Structure 1
């Protein structure tokens, strides 16, 4: 009897050790992907199970160390594709303890890091996401934007292509990603706006990388955008729904955002411009801010609805509409009560017919043209004060890199001779930054 008990104990000990070993090695690192944006980088670690991790930073040289508990891998990170300006290398280092996989991210400079896990979402499984942001990027953007102030300025339209990078958005029946379709459409809208005298487009992303939803509004604000247009493609659990729609910020979301801004007094100046600076020392700052924010929100929402109507009207000429009137929603990208914003659903990528259309260049161009016409129609009738579009006399143009007199003449549909005469030019030579008077055709 004693021998049997000892045997059972031995079996239990062995099972316990096996269980412990399995627990330590339960997770596996299957892949690593680097998504580089101009001023940030996202690194995604694909895992077989939800990660348990810790991390810390090291200097001289700058590194971010990530420890994945109970994780193994057979990956060769030396072959990892990396085009990031912030990340020199991603490598595996000596394990600090049994069953822990240590990964070191060698950095080109000090960065702000944010690490979080994501649950399985098709086509991905469990993931650990590492977001790296250039600490100097925000200052650079603000500084650049502050230099744009001119007596006669361009109407600035921020174009936001939804999703990107590790976030594919909706996926069509044949496997087409929303992030790729909307980027193509967004680029076409931006090109049409940039080709319009007195208008300028700023894109929140220009490639296949993810931009934080809050950062998209920040980019628009730092660029002093007069409008934010976010481009998406809808999806549903059924393949039946189809058609385009346009959304604006809901009143409920607008009010909640107003409340959030009021709680952060240091943000008043950012949101209200010069008025925020004046209010810093005012005894009734809270009430003044509330009044100004309410006025700003009322104007922004009125403009948003007006433009949404114009865009929807033009979309109805090139594609089927899912909604004949603008809809209100609490989409994160529409959260800025100070910037007129619309979200355009170009169609249902989950519908077989529309997925095929959305992948076609001609249809993408038709959709982009519809959005562009709706935007231009509003600003032509309601040009901002001190903008080139509001000027009834001669227009002004700042020479950009790669431009010649012939290119500028073609853009404004005037002759080179008339431009030279208006600017008293003796030759065809011009330089970057030179301000030219553009006579009316």
Structure 2
């Protein structure tokens, strides 16, 4: 065979080898997920390779248009419209289809104006490459509004769960998180040096105790998964809602959930929400796993910057602190104020109060489940770093233990755990009343 013929044959072989790859060069979308919530709605597209895109907001009517470049229009993308529910606060519907050769267009029809954040995530955990569309309202949801229904001690005592219509219209920025009740009494006193007698008003301000409840994980971040398929994120939300109902039924307390549905909340935002409502306590709820399935029992953690109290505690903290990577945060958006406050861990009084709360909680949940160690544990959990709020993290049981997974999935156990946690909170306040935030003023 001549040299020219050999080269032609080699070229033909290369064509055979390369063509199939070229024909399959389009990136496949492997999964699409939608997480609707009042805080924001998240749409996630997961691909086998990095997803290239362009996006723009279109007015009249409000739409978000996203062009996916080099993406195959497959059955997964075709299923995206069916994942939108009528109750979604922000999305009316999604249309998906081929726009032009090599480009798939998504048109998100909106229920109103939004503030989108669109970003990509590198593979992590069980996830491949992700493209995230976070659709936020133009006016961020304020956690104070969640407390309006129990705005005054009078409403709480009367069992009034209907929000005041006028208060509901109020500017959240003007709502006092303490929601004070003014008790005005008149008192006659003698004033020197002229011995005049005058009547003055003494105004005492009392308020509801506010508890921030933090159901761990959510949305893209499932948390630990038991052998029988129980998701930690579902267990923590269920217990959190049960505990909130119990707290709200107390005449002098109210609770705020950092998430009230299945959606992802970054660790820093969980702390920020608690500080926004000036919470008296922060209780993070978890049901974690360990590398050994025989690990069992409930635990209560407080913050430690000196190191973990055990190897298991260190492992759990590292796993929990990776939640932002799994759930997916937009690293282009930072809260500098929060970043500064989280560095201020010198409030010894706050850590001391956290220890007292942990002891009270441990004594109560020990009657519901075996304690993992029988003592307070310490680790560097990111959600415990509020500098001015006593904070604890409760591991309700090990979901990686088959016996305890059954407990965690049982509604009766969830009720008992929530009731025990309420008793722990009340035990703490019985010895440590929240006097620091009470206000006493003398007005003429």
Is the structural similarity TM-score above 0.5? yes
- Conserved? CA contact 1:188–1:365, under 8 Å: yes
Measured after TM superposition, the shift of residue 46 of structure 1 is 3.6
- Conserved? CA contact 2:29–2:71, under 8 Å: no
CA RMSD after TM alignment: 3.0
Q: How many Å separate the matches in 2 of 1:231 and 1:241?
A: 18
Match among 171, 179, 189 for residue 243 of structure 2? 189
1:146 aligns with 2:146: no
1:50 aligns with 2:54: no
- Conserved? CA contact 2:300–2:362, under 8 Å: yes
- Conserved? CA contact 2:341–2:387, under 8 Å: no
Measured after TM superposition, the shift of residue 220 of structure 1 is 0.9
Over 3 Å counting, the alpha-carbon distance change for 1:42 and 1:266 in structure 2 is closer
Question: Which residue of 2 is the match for residue 328 of structure 1?
Answer: 378
Over 3 Å counting, the alpha-carbon distance change for 1:135 and 1:327 in structure 2 is farther
1:162 aligns with 2:165: no
Q: Pairwise mapping of residues 276-295 of structure 1 onto structure 2 (< 5 A)?
A: none
1:300 aligns with 2:304: no
Q: How many Å separate the matches in 2 of 1:233 and 1:196?
A: 26
Match among 354, 359, 375 for residue 404 of structure 2? 354
Which structure: greater helix fraction?
Answer: 1
Over 3 Å counting, the alpha-carbon distance change for 1:239 and 1:309 in structure 2 is same
Q: Secondary structure at the match of 1:5?
A: helix
Q: Secondary structure at the match of 1:311?
A: helix
- Conserved? CA contact 1:145–1:222, under 8 Å: no
Q: How many Å separate the matches in 2 of 1:149 and 1:78?
A: 43
Question: Which residue of 1 is the match for residue 337 of structure 2?
Answer: 267
1:317 aligns with 2:371: no
Q: Normalising by structure 2, what TM-score? A: 0.72
Over 3 Å counting, the alpha-carbon distance change for 1:240 and 1:105 in structure 2 is same
Q: Normalising by structure 1, what TM-score? A: 0.72
1:220 aligns with 2:274: yes
1:3 aligns with 2:33: no
Measured after TM superposition, the shift of residue 188 of structure 1 is 1.6
Count of residue pairs the alignment pairs up: 355
Question: Which residue of 1 is the match for residue 326 of structure 2?
Answer: none
Question: Which residue of 1 is the match for residue 58 of structure 2?
Answer: 59
Q: How many Å separate the matches in 1 of 2:84 and 2:412?
A: 33
- Conserved? CA contact 1:118–1:128, under 8 Å: no
- Conserved? CA contact 2:84–2:92, under 8 Å: no
Q: Pairwise mapping of residues 11-410 of structure 1 onto structure 2 (< 5 A)?
A: 11-23=13-25, 25=26, 27-47=27-47, 49-60=48-59, 61-74=62-75, 75-82=78-85, 83-95=87-99, 98-107=101-110, 108-117=112-121, 119=123, 121-122=125-126, 126-137=129-140, 141=144, 143=173, 145-146=175-176, 148-150=178-180, 151-251=205-305, 267=337, 297-385=347-435
Over 3 Å counting, the alpha-carbon distance change for 1:314 and 1:147 in structure 2 is closer
Q: How many Å separate the matches in 1 of 2:275 and 2:140?
A: 15
Q: Secondary structure at the match of 1:160?
A: strand
Over 3 Å counting, the alpha-carbon distance change for 1:197 and 1:84 in structure 2 is same
Q: How many Å separate the matches in 2 of 1:245 and 1:348?
A: 9
The C-alpha deviation readout for 1:155-191, integer Å capped at 9, x for no partner, is 1000111112222211111111111111111112111
Q: How many Å separate the matches in 1 of 2:303 and 2:72?
A: 44
Q: Secondary structure at the match of 1:205?
A: coil
Q: How many Å separate the matches in 1 of 2:226 and 2:174?
A: 39
Q: How many Å separate the matches in 2 of 1:323 and 1:198?
A: 33
The C-alpha deviation readout for 1:102-129, integer Å capped at 9, x for no partner, is 323333313131423253645x655433
Q: Secondary structure at the match of 1:309?
A: helix
**Structure 1 moving runs of 4+ over 6 Å:** none
Question: Which residue of 2 is the match for residue 411 of structure 1?
Answer: none
Q: How many Å separate the matches in 1 of 2:226 and 2:234?
A: 11
